[in-house]
Amino acid sequence: MNLTSPSQVKAWCIEHGFHPNKVLGQNFLIDRNALLSIVDAGLEFLSVPPAQSRILEVGPGLGVLTEEMLSRGASVTAVEKDPVLASRLKEALGSPETLEVVSGDALKFIAAGGADVGYDAMISNLPYQAGTRILLDLVIARKIPSMTVLVQTEVAERLAAKEGSKVRSLSGVWAQLDYDVKVLRKLPPNCFWPRPQICSSVVRLVRHDRNASMTAEERKLFHSLTKRAFEHRRKQLGSIFKDLIQSTARAESLSNEDWITLVKGLINEDA
C-alpha cells in the first residue's frame, strides 16, 4: 500500500472497518514531499550514519514515517497506543528486523524509562491531544539528542517563542532549557487524512549543553518557579512570589538566562 496515497489509505480503512480516532489525534500524513522533508530534517543532526541509528517514533499510525526511516537503514522503535494499528504495523511493513513495535501509551513508556536506552533521535507525527505532554516528558529527561516532530502550529510556535513574545509559554521555557528549538515548515490540513481543522508545523529540537552544569536542585526550582509564574502569567512576578522575588516583570518577558539567574540567587540566599 502506498501510504501517501489518500485513496489507498481510505480504501484500507474501509476494508478493515477502521475509523480514525479523533481522541487519539489520528490524522495520517499523506503528502510525500512533506514526508521526505521531515525525515531528512530528523536525520540531519545524527552523530552516526542513518544505517547505524536508533530512532524513536511515537504514534506511527499506518507507518508512513516508519517506512521511510527503515528505507534509510535506521532501526526504529515505534510506540503505538491504538492496538489495531500496533498489531498490523510490523507485518504491513514486511516484518523487518530493524523495527520494534511497542503497543501502549507513550507517556507510560517514557515514565518506565523506555526512552532512556540510547536513541539517536526521535522523529514523529505526534498525536494532537497528548503531543505536548509527550514532548515535554522527553525534554525533561534529556536523553534524546534531537527530536523532529509534527505538532499543531500553535504548539510549535509556543515551543520556539523567545522572551517578550505574546506566545511565550511554559512549554517553550522548559524545552529551551536544554534544546535549541526551530520551526522548520508549516503544513496545511490537506497534507493529512482525515483532514484536521488546523494547520500543523514541523519543529526540531536539538539538545545543547549550555545549562549542563545546573544541579538537580536548581532544575527542580527552575521548573517549580516557571510553572507557578505561567499559571498566573498576567500578574507581575512580585505579586506572584511576594517577598521571594521583587520584580514588575511578567513571566513571558524573562529569558531562560533570567530564570536561571533567579534560581541560582534564591538557592545562594538559602545556603
- List of domains in the chain: 6-207 (3.40.50.150), 216-270 (1.10.8)
Give the pLDDT confidence score for residue 271 in this predicted structure. 58
| pTM (whole model) above 0.85 | yes
| pLDDT higher than threshold 70 for residue 95 | yes
Burial of 90 (0-12, 13-18, 19+ CB in 10 A): middle
Residues 223, 142 contacting (CB under 8 angstroms): no
pLDDT band at 129 (very low <50, low <70, confident <90, very high): confident
- Exposure class string for 178-206: b at 16+ Cβ within 10 A, else e: bbebebbeebeeebbbeebeeebbbbbbb
| pLDDT higher than threshold 90 for residue 230 | yes
d(CA 98, CA 68): 13
How many angstroms separate the most distant Cα atoms in the chain? 66
Q: Kindly give the residue spans of alpha helices, DSSP state H, lying in the chain.
A: 6-15, 32-43, 64-71, 83-92, 106-111, 131-141, 153-160, 170-178, 216-231, 237-241, 256-270
d(CA 96, CA 71): 10
Q: Which of 52-56, 71-75, 197-201, 240-244 has the lowest mean pLDDT?
A: 240-244
| pLDDT higher than threshold 80 for residue 150 | yes
Residues 185, 37 contacting (CB under 8 angstroms): yes
Burial of 53 (0-12, 13-18, 19+ CB in 10 A): buried
